[in-house]
Structure 1
Amino acid sequence: MSTVQRDRAAQLERPVAVADWTAWTCRVRLAVTDPAALPAARALLTARLAAVDRACSRFRADSELAAVDAGAGRWTPVGPLLAEALAVALRAARLSDGDVDPTVGGAMTALGYDRDLDLVDPGQVPPVLSPVAGWGTVELDGDRVRIPWGTRLDLGATAKSWTADRAAADIAARTGVGALVSIGGDVAVAGPAPAGGWRVRVEDVTGDPDAPAGPDAQVVVLTDGGLATSGTRARRWRRGGVEVHHVLDPRTGLPATPAWRTVSVAAASCTDAGTASTAAVVRGRAALPWLAGLGLPARLVGEDGDVVTTGGWPAWTC
């Protein structure tokens, strides 16, 4: 489990170097505990983002994932990166009892989310019921995969958090410094933390971490593991005059009924945190006893703005 603590401003004076940029239509933040290591760390993270995009993007016709979709119904060879990403997605599906499901790609496309979000066509047809094949239909056998005919995969629920985990660990191992990697607000840390830990802002919509905190933001400290936030506010668009969001209920193929506008979870890895936070959005009010049973620190913000915490999430601080 990740160690998540209250932010104590007096502990946070530390010499770290930070770089920010945009990738995958997300804000990316890289921080390292030695400024001299920042160029090498950024090169490592940039290379990993590019490699994952080539393997796993459903927006690229030349990606390996697109080849798997095109070959639905038969075995398709995959490289080690996509094989690992698929294994991670299937594990997340198993651990969440199917609330996080990689076979929602067709349903996402039916909602119009078949390209980068800022390019989505609102279309004229409103969302319709589009159940997914289900994660249990995906067959992964080493370096090959087979999905049912008509199925399209979407690894969006796990790819960001898994990439953050892998990148942070790789940077720490290769440079010997502590590293924080945030991709769209999914945060992984590895290596020696700075004095006082890594300061992370938790809020409804990922914004500029250097800007003044909003009234609903909370700042916590991570020393290991990861933290992820899932919600229904950040990635929204209109389809046929209906506003929709990107967290789908695999049982219907439609956006999950909103009970929580955001759920933030800390765990032993960013991947596990992201799996739990996404599943919690799908589960709605039933997420509270589920998260409590897992013992994961979590902060859930209701549609009305009320905040509920569980699992030892730290007391409020700004």
Structure 2
Amino acid sequence: MTAAAEWSAWTCRVRLVVTDPAALAPGRALLTRRMAAVDRACSRFRADSELSLLGRAGGGWTPVSPLLAEALAVALRAAELTDGDVDPTVGGALVSLAHDGDPLGTGARAEPAVVPAPGWHTVELDRAAGRVRVPAGVLLDLGATAKAWTADRAAAEITAATGSGVLVAIGGDVAVAGPAPAGGWRVRVEDVTAPLDRRPTGPCAVVTVRSGGLATSGTRARRWQQAGLHLHHLLDPRTGLPARPVWRTVSVAAGSCVDANTVSTATVVRGDGAWPWLRAVRVPARLVTEDGAVLTVGGWPAESAA
């Protein structure tokens, strides 16, 4: 038996599944508290968050909470592993493209501005001292890693507290912990995460996950128009513009959700140039082209329709 709860938060679907039904209520409470704490520390969309306050700090060393310090460390590690394809200094570029104050990406301005990311090397993090230094004017955005990291942390916390097997899905970021149900966790990958009783609108597949995490990054969930241009939230940090439309969806399985999401996001950013890197990192991946063709690498299983 499993028990599940599903709700909306952070402008996406949140799903919690447990192998022990008695763990559902305490598990949901733990997940809700974890997400609230991350939001207070890491949100770019609330003026009172630690991250927003850091953006107004003026470029000096600024004390940060252990939670934000860990979130920043995760983001900087992702930037290092991807040679800057996943870069937390894209906040200014997102603001310039009217993705500020509007997490659904429905806002617009007359002319899109181009603001390349200053680069993750400009951020200095001293975790031992609990402080960080970000150059004045550099805005951080942790959207590329914070959801996946939250899913990983919450799944582990719920299992530790309840002993139950756990699946946490926040949008396209899925983390599992503890004993899996018989046959493993069945996860549907698709362009835009939707309730399981809703028919997918694009190419989709169902895969089995037994440990670690699975993440789907794509250009269909958060899109908007500006000055006649179709934009999305996955930016190429080097240009400050949305990644070229090569892959509409990339799904990756890895030892953790944050690692899966790091690879899936970087693959979207790299476009056609992702293939050598994907083969080098040796993780299962499913790539969907703009016209809906499905390509796989790294031992991703054969398609099983939802």
Asked if Structure 1 and Structure 2 have the same fold, meaning a TM-score greater than 0.5 normalized by the shorter chain, the answer is: yes
Whole-Å separation in 2 of the counterparts to 1:54 and 1:149:
22
CA contact (8 A) 1:299 1:307 kept: yes
Count of residue pairs brought into register by the alignment = 303
Q: Which residue of 2 aligns with 1:135?
A: 120
Q: Which residue of 1 aligns with 2:187?
A: 200
Name the Cα RMSD after superposition. 1.1
Matched residue of 2:283: which SS?
Answer: coil
In structure 2, list runs of 5 or more residues that go unmatched. Answer: none
Alignment of 1:175-186 (within 5 A): 175-186=162-173
Q: Which residue of 2 aligns with 1:89?
A: 75
Q: Which residue of 1 aligns with 2:46?
A: 60
Q: Which residue of 2 aligns with 1:9?
A: none
* 1:190 and 2:162 correspond: no
Whole-Å separation in 1 of the counterparts to 2:89 and 2:77:
13
Identity of aligned residues (%): 67
Whole-Å separation in 2 of the counterparts to 1:213 and 1:120:
22
Q: Which residue of 2 aligns with 1:154?
A: 141
Q: Which residue of 1 aligns with 2:153?
A: 166
Correspondent of 2:84 among 95, 98, 106:
98
Alignment of 1:1-318 (within 5 A): 15-118=1-104, 120-125=106-111, 127-142=112-127, 143-213=130-200, 216-318=203-305
Q: CA deviation at 1:120?
A: 4.0
Q: CA deviation at 1:208?
A: 1.3
Matched residue of 2:101: which SS?
Answer: coil
Whole-Å separation in 1 of the counterparts to 2:268 and 2:84:
13
Whole-Å separation in 2 of the counterparts to 1:237 and 1:123:
11
The Cα offsets for residues 219-267 of structure 1, whole Å up to 9 and x where unpaired, read as: 0010000000011111101223322000000001110111101100000
| TM-score of the aligned structures, taking structure 1 as reference length | 0.93
* Amino acid of the structure 2 residue aligned with 1:134: G
* Amino acid of the structure 1 residue aligned with 2:93: A
Q: CA deviation at 1:79?
A: 0.3
CA contact (8 A) 1:25 1:116 kept: no
Matched residue of 1:210: which SS?
Answer: coil
Q: CA deviation at 1:131?
A: 1.1
Matched residue of 1:99: which SS?
Answer: coil
Whole-Å separation in 2 of the counterparts to 1:156 and 1:91:
14
Matched residue of 2:71: which SS?
Answer: helix
Whole-Å separation in 2 of the counterparts to 1:268 and 1:27:
23
Q: Which residue of 2 aligns with 1:12?
A: none
Q: CA deviation at 1:269?
A: 0.2
| TM-score of the aligned structures, taking structure 2 as reference length | 0.97
* Amino acid of the structure 1 residue aligned with 2:41: A
Whole-Å separation in 2 of the counterparts to 1:225 and 1:119:
30
Q: CA deviation at 1:115?
A: 1.7
Single out whichever of 198-207 and 113-122 deviates more from structure 2.
Answer: 113-122
Whole-Å separation in 1 of the counterparts to 2:240 and 2:26:
42
Q: 1:99 to 1:72 in 2, by over 3 A?
A: farther
In structure 1, list runs of 5 or more residues that go unmatched. Answer: 1-14
* Amino acid of the structure 1 residue aligned with 2:96: A
Query: Taking CA–CA contacts closer than 8 Å with sequence separation of 6 or more, which of the two structures ends up with the larger relative contact order?
Result: 1
